[in-house]
Amino acid sequence: METKLLWEQIVNKLSKEKLIDQDIVEEYIVTSELLKMSDKEFVILVRSNLGVTILNEFKEVFIYEFKTLLNDYVSVEFSTKEVFEKISKKEEKKEKLIISLPENSLTFDNFIVGSSNKQANLAAKSVAANPGSSFNPLFIYGDSGLGKTHLLQAIKNQALLSNKKVLYLTSEEFTKKVVNALNKGDLNEIEELKNEINSNDFFILDDVQFLSKKDKTNEFFFNIINNFTENGKQLVFSSDKTPELLNGFDKRMITRFNSGLSTPINSLDIPTAKLIIEWEIKKQGLKQKVKEDAVVYLAQNFSDDVRKIKGLVNRLLFFGIQNDLGHIIDLEDVVDLFKDTPSANLGLLNVKKIKEIVGKKYDVTLKAIDGKARTTAIKNARHLSMYFAKIILNHTSTQIGAEFGGRDHSTVLSAISRIEKLIYKEKEFKKIVESLKNEIIGK
């Protein structure tokens, strides 16, 4: 849907449904402009700072209206044109820097080391300095967003400084090269590719798990591994799991992966997350001072991966631009700023735990929530549990249906939609939802 048409429909719906006072609609919404940043990110440009403050009070209403029109959850932010242009200029400068230094910024010097990644960092430094040693191949594994790619790029950049010849590829890039050579059906093409790869001192391959079940590519890959190993040249691989847990590879490949050193990058611990947050704040050039307790709160609640931390700091940057330079960002600021962001440290939170918390509120058993009874208390408990499974655990409607007695996904969507409408229309119900959400995520 075109952005202009989408905005017209939202303004019309807000006017007709009267969820927002008509004076506010006419004064601040009709005069605003919608910008589409991506399929799931929108910015509403408002004429004044007062308008931004007022419309932020109705943020959930806007998210609901976008969802009904686009059939998906989206991010909505409010800004004045002046503030938005300042941010755009900062992002433009940052983009230019990234273009001029694509991966060179990923080094050992700016890799934040803590107990969760210390072992992997030491191993990476060792192979960068002493290629082809006993740590060959070096196999680094761990969940997405914990710094595996940073370490692989750091190895590459350190090796290049030592005048070593390095080939760094993602598994997708490697697969394309091999498939293109094989499809040509020319043995010379295949030999040329082998020679091109084998001429390097380092072969670094990111996300090897995506080579699963690619038999022809893996046959080629196995020959490359043998050549590098026999010639004392360094292999470095990353994956989202240990070699033993990789599926779709034959035993000899798993044996090769295990023949060097396998080392994990574990989930971020709070001290390491705190160091990364402080580093990102400094790197982004946030003008305002951020108090210690605010940084600790972010580390305690949103420390599941580095990418998320960078996103959080970007939001702090946006917040900082909208405030005076003398404003000190404190705990109260960050709690309010991230109140709608689910905490990363949800422990053993699952659908059953959500049902227990909501069921306790309505004095309803788990059996009743999964059953077919439709009293008001049971229906509210069931629908709220489905709603929280969506917004907190980010489960799909099909997953949620399976977890609630095998219900159809359309039933789930209807239940979630009912809860959303009640939130917007009934203030007391909204308070109940906020209270339950805070209890569930441990705030």
In this predicted structure, the answer to whether residue 432 has a pLDDT above a threshold of 90 is yes
CA 159 – CA 317 distance, rounded (Å): 35
Two structure tokens written together for 25:
């609609």
Position 140 pLDDT exceeds 80? yes
pLDDT of residue 387: 92
- What pLDDT was estimated at residue 96? 39
Q: Considering the chain, what percentage of its residues have pLDDT values greater than 70?
A: 91
Global pTM reads: 0.55
* Residue 339: exposure state from Cβ atoms within 10 A (0-12, 13-18, ≥19): exposed
pLDDT tens readout for residues 300-323: 777 677 878 888 888 888 887 777
What confidence score (pLDDT) does residue 442 get? 60
Token pair 């982004």 is found at 284
Dihedral pair phi/psi, residue 70, rounded to 5°: -100, -10
Binding site, by residue number, is: 145, 147-149
Distance CA 196, CA 181 (A): 12
Confidence bin at 227 (pLDDT 50/70/90)? very high
**Three-state helix/strand/coil letters over the chain:** CCHHHHHHHHHHHHHHHCCCCHHHHHHHHCCCEEEEEECCEEEEEECCHHHHHHHHCCHHHHHHHHHHHHCCCCEEEEEEHHHHHHHHHHHHHHHHHHHHCCCCCCCCCCCCCCCCCHHHHHHHHHHHHCCCCCCCCEEEECCCCCCHHHHHHHHHHHHHHCCCCEEEEEHHHHHHHHHHHHHCCCHHHHHHHHHHHHCCCEEEEECHHHHCCCHHHHHHHHHHHHHHHHCCCEEEEEECCCHHHCCCCCHHHHHHHCCCEEEECCCCCHHHHHHHHHHHHHHHCCCCCECHHHHHHHHHHCCCCHHHHHHHHHHHHHHHHCCCCCCCECHHHHHHHCCCCCCCCCCCCCHHHHHHHHHHHHCCCHHHHHCCCCCHHHHHHHHHHHHHHHHCCCCCHHHHHHHCCCCCHHHHHHHHHHHHHHHHHCHHHHHHHHHHHHHHHCC
Q: Is the pLDDT of residue 346 over 60?
A: no
99-113, 123-137, 282-296, range with the lowest pLDDT: 99-113
More confident residue, 100 or 6: 6
- For 232, residues 6+ apart whose C-beta sits below 8 A from its C-beta are 131, 132, 136
Residues annotated within a binding site for ATP? 145, 147-149
pLDDT band, very low/low/confident/very high, at 349 (cuts 50, 70, 90): low
| Count of residues making up the chain | 443
pLDDT digits (tens, 9 = 90+) for 13-27: 888 877 788 888 888
* Reported confidence tier of residue 105, pLDDT bands at 50, 70, 90: low
Establish how many alpha carbons lie within 13 A of residue 82's alpha carbon, considering only the half-sphere containing its beta carbon: 7
Tokens of 301: 């609640």
Would you say domain 118-264 falls under CATH 2.60.120.280?
no
In angstroms, the Cα distances linking 109 to 154, 158, 334, 358, 431 are 9, 10, 29, 47, 47
- CATH superfamily assigned to domain 351-441: DnaA protein, C-terminal DNA-binding domain (1.10.1750.10)
Please tell me the predicted confidence (pLDDT) of residue 222: 93
Average pLDDT over residues 378-397: 88
CATH number for 3-100 (one of 3.50.50.60, 3.40.1190.10, 1.50.10.10, 3.30.300.180): it is 3.30.300.180
**What value does the mean pLDDT take over residues 331-338?**
81
Q: Give bridge partners of residue 169 from the DSSP assignment.
A: 205
Over residues 148-172, the pLDDT tens digits come to: 999 999 999 889 888 899 999 998 8
Rounded to the nearest integer, the mean pLDDT of the chain is: 84
Dist. CA 218–CA 182, nearest whole Å: 12
- Residue 82: how many other CB atoms lie within 10 Å: 10
Tokens of 102: 């694509």
At 290, the pLDDT band (50, 70, 90 cuts) reads confident
